[in-house]
Amino acid sequence: MGKIIDGKAIAAGLYDQMRQEVEQMEVQYGRRPGLTVIIVGEDPASQVYVRNKEVNAKKVGLVSEVIRMPEQTTQDELLAVIARLNADTTVDGILVQLPVPKHIDKDAVIAAVAPDKDVDGFFGMKSGFTLKHGYVAPCTPRACIHLIKTTGETIEGKHALVVGRGELVGKPVATLLLNENATVTIAHSRTRNLGEIARTADIIIAAVGKPKIITGEMVKPGAILIDVGINRDENGKLCGDIAFDSAEPVAGWITPVPGGVGPMTIAMLIRNTLDCYLKHVK
Distance CA 55, CA 119 (A): 17
Residue numbers at the binding site for ligand GUN (CB under 6 A): 95-98, 120, 139
Smallest gap, in angstroms, from Cβ of residue 97 to ligand GUN? 5
> Which residue number, 255 or 272, has a Cβ lying nearer to ligand GUN?
272
Smallest gap, in angstroms, from Cβ of residue 183 to ligand GUN? 27
Smallest gap, in angstroms, from Cβ of residue 120 to ligand GUN? 5
User: Does the annotation mark 275 as catalytic?
Assistant: no
User: Does the annotation mark 120 as catalytic?
Assistant: yes
Residue nearest to ligand GUN (CB): 98
> Which residue number, 120 or 227, has a Cβ lying nearer to ligand GUN?
120
CB 214 within 8 A of CB 243: yes
User: Does the annotation mark 97 as catalytic?
Assistant: yes
Catalytic choice (53, 117, 158, 212):
53
Smallest gap, in angstroms, from Cβ of residue 221 to ligand GUN? 34
In 41-139, where do the E strands start and end? 63-69, 93-96
Instruction: Give the 3-state DSSP-derived string for 35-85, with helices as H, strands as E and coil as C.
Output: EEEEEECCCHHHHHHHHHHHHHHHHHCCEEEEEEECCCCCHHHHHHHHHHH
Catalytic choice (92, 118, 120, 227):
120
Cα distance between the two ends of the chain: 46
> Which residue number, 56 or 185, has a Cβ lying nearer to ligand GUN?
56
Strand, coil or helix: what is 193?
coil
Residue of 116, 137, 109 lying closest to 41 (CA atoms): 109
Catalytic choice (97, 158, 227, 275):
97
Which of the residues are catalytic?
53, 97, 120
